[in-house]
């Protein structure tokens, strides 16, 4: 019975990858003054990491999310594998999602606050480029807008810039697809300061489908991807 259910989900998953969901509307821009309050910026930033990790089939578990960590904010998560080209792609998207969230919400980003994420994302981009497999394991989103990473990072290799831009486009597309759910996660973090996976689940819904697909990914049957909502909240 379990294998039959897995087979049905697998078929649905394969079909879903062939179907193009309707284009999502841009996230509503927040007043720029809100970004000057650290808690607001931290909540938006961590919500970005959380939403993308929540959708990733290579992430079996997500732990607490806080905006009161020693360095500002933190999202606890685990990956099935951490040293493959595909895991580097997933890692990079999740790292870039904090910055993408700030830009989506405020129209700008504090480079200093996003510095560690950019460094981690770049380290993954270098590993991806070194592997020679610079095509992501998922279908590239239609969204064309990205960041000019070559202007943000001194003497950036063009190949690394291309990989970073691809990862950023995916991160931004995931956040837009969630619409108002994204801001509900922000609200939960501002209210609780530290939110559990259960708190996040109350907004984003259960991860049962993502976890089941994740089992097939961990077994090597499918390539990892991000399960994006087909209807924007």
**Domain ranges in the chain?**
30-218
pLDDT at 23: 62
State the Cα–Cα distance between residues 159 and 228, nearest whole angstrom.
27
Given a cut of 50, is residue 211 above it in pLDDT? Answer: yes
Q: Kindly state the average pLDDT of the residues 108-123.
A: 83
Residue pointed to by tokens 């480029």: 129
Q: Kindly state the average pLDDT of the residues 119-139.
A: 93
What is the distance between the terminal CA atoms of the chain, rounded to a whole angstrom? 33
Per-residue pLDDT band at 81 (split at 50, 70, 90): confident
Q: What is the dihedral of CA 104, 108, 112, 114, to 10 degrees?
A: 10
pLDDT top residue among 229 and 196: 196
pLDDT at 80: 80
Task: Quote the percentage of the chain above a pLDDT of 70.
Answer: 86
Per-residue pLDDT band at 194 (split at 50, 70, 90): very high
Q: What value does the mean pLDDT of the chain take?
A: 84
Q: Which CATH number does 30-218 carry?
A: 1.20.58.760
Q: What is the dihedral of CA 24, 25, 26, 30, to 10 degrees?
A: -130
Contacts of 93 (CB under 8 A, 6+ apart): 52, 56, 167, 170, 171, 174, 226
pLDDT at 175: 94
pTM of the complete model: 0.86
For residue 179, the 8-state DSSP code is T
Given a cut of 80, is residue 4 above it in pLDDT? Answer: no
Residue among 103, 33, 106, 67 at smallest CA distance from 186: 67
Q: Classify 64 as helix, strand or coil.
A: strand
Residue among 69, 73, 67 at smallest CA distance from 193: 67
State the Cα–Cα distance between residues 28 and 26, nearest whole angstrom.
6
Residue among 185, 161, 158, 166 at smallest CA distance from 75: 185
Q: Classify 61 as helix, strand or coil.
A: strand
- What six digits make up the tokens of 74? 């933190």
């Amino acid at each position: 019975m379990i294998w039959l259910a897995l087979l049905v989900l697998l078929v649905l998953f394969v079909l879903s990858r062939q179907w193009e969901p309707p284009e999502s509307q841009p996230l509503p821009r927040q007043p720029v003054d809100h970004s000057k309050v650290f808690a607001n910026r931290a909540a938006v930033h961590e919500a970005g990491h959380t939403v993308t990790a929540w959708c990733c089939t290579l992430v079996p578990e997500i732990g607490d999310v806080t905006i009161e960590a020693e360095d500002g904010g933190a999202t606890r998560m685990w990956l099935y594998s951490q040293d493959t080209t595909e895991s580097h792609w997933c890692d990079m998207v999740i790292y870039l999602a904090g910055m993408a969230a700030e830009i989506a919400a405020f129209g700008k980003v504090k480079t200093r606050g996003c510095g560690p994420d950019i460094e981690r994302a770049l380290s993954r981009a270098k590993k991806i480029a070194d592997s020679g497999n610079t095509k992501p394991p998922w279908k590239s989103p239609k969204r064309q807008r990205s960041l000019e990473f070559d202007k943000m990072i001194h003497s950036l290799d063009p190949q690394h810039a291309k990989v970073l831009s691809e990862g950023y486009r995916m991160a931004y597309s995931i956040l837009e697809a969630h619409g108002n759910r994204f801001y509900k996660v922000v609200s939960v973090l501002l209210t609780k300061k530290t939110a559990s996976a259960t708190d996040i689940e109350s907004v984003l819904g259960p991860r049962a489908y993502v976890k089941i697909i994740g089992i097939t990914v961990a077994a090597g049957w499918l390539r990892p991807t991000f399960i994006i909502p087909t209807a924007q909240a």
